[in-house]
A and B are shown apart, each in its own frame.
Chain A
């Protein structure tokens, strides 16, 4: 049972345009959401996060939107740059048995064309 879903495996956009990466979740216990960027053969790099009490968080070119009623979040990158090309993972955090866990989606490959 996949609790965090990134239904699109890939996305291709032109440089300068907006990239929108989507993520859906099923577990209502998730209360913190994160986006990570990953290059091949490297560990993920934290990008941006949002608490469940907020609906938007912005950091430079990156904005994350959270729609709790729809159990949906999205990452907007604008303007997109070729260096943004990577795999992006959506992750959700919850507490179980006193410890906090991160659940990752399968990732989505973003390609930004010059």
Chain B
């Protein structure tokens, strides 16, 4: 099946610094990538959708200047959490899809802890 990787799997950073999370589709070209955030005991919340070569579409309530998303190639999307605060601590998961109306394949997630 399709494989999606994320790096890093865990990151601890200090408040005020920026953190970049990479999402890669390893064996297929992802025309669309999604970024989700999961809060404890809650569902996956879609943050943004990114199509290769175009600007990401952010969900309501997600600050695009805080969560910078770049989808520079068909196999790589990055999420940069800028000026991180403790409330940004969460589990961030990306997913990728190679064509419309098909399943999304999820990465293993990144645990971000902001101290």
User: For window 76-115 of chain B, which residues contact chain A by CB distance below 8 Å?
Assistant: 91, 93-95, 100-101, 103-109, 111
B42 interface neighbour in A34, A36, A106, Cβ under 8 Å: A106
Asked if B70 is at the interface (CB within 8 A of a chain A CB), the reply is no
Main secondary structure of the interface of B (DSSP, over half): strand
What residues on B are CB-neighbors of A97 within 8 Å?
57
Most buried by A among B4, B91, B101: B101
Asked if A12 is at the interface (CB within 8 A of a chain B CB), the reply is no
Nearest CB on B from A108, distance (A): 11
In the complex, per-residue mask of B11-36: 1 if CB is within 8 Å of any chain A CB, else 0: 00000000000000000000010100
A57 to B70 alpha-carbon distance, docked (Å): 36
Asked if B49 is at the interface (CB within 8 A of a chain A CB), the reply is yes
What residues on A are CB-neighbors of B42 within 8 Å?
106
Given A43-B4, A43-B95, A89-B43, is A100 in contact with B101 using a C-beta cutoff of 8 Å?
A: yes
User: For window 94-112 of chain A, which residues contact chain B by CB distance below 8 Å?
Assistant: 97, 99-107
Q: Which of A14-22, A44-52, A60-68, A71-79 contacts B (4 or more CB under 8 A)?
A: A44-52
Asked if A42 is at the interface (CB within 8 A of a chain B CB), the reply is yes
Q: Are A89 and B108 in contact (CB under 8 A)?
A: no
Name 23 interchain pairs, CB-CB below 8 A, sorted by A. Answer: A34-B103, A41-B91, A41-B108, A41-B109, A43-B4, A43-B93, A43-B107, A43-B109, A44-B93, A44-B106, A45-B106, A46-B103, A46-B104, A46-B105, A46-B106, A49-B103, A89-B44, A99-B32, A100-B101, A102-B46, A103-B46, A104-B43, A107-B43
The chain A residues found within 8 Å of chain B, CB to CB, are: 4, 32, 34, 36, 41-46, 49, 89, 93, 97, 99-107
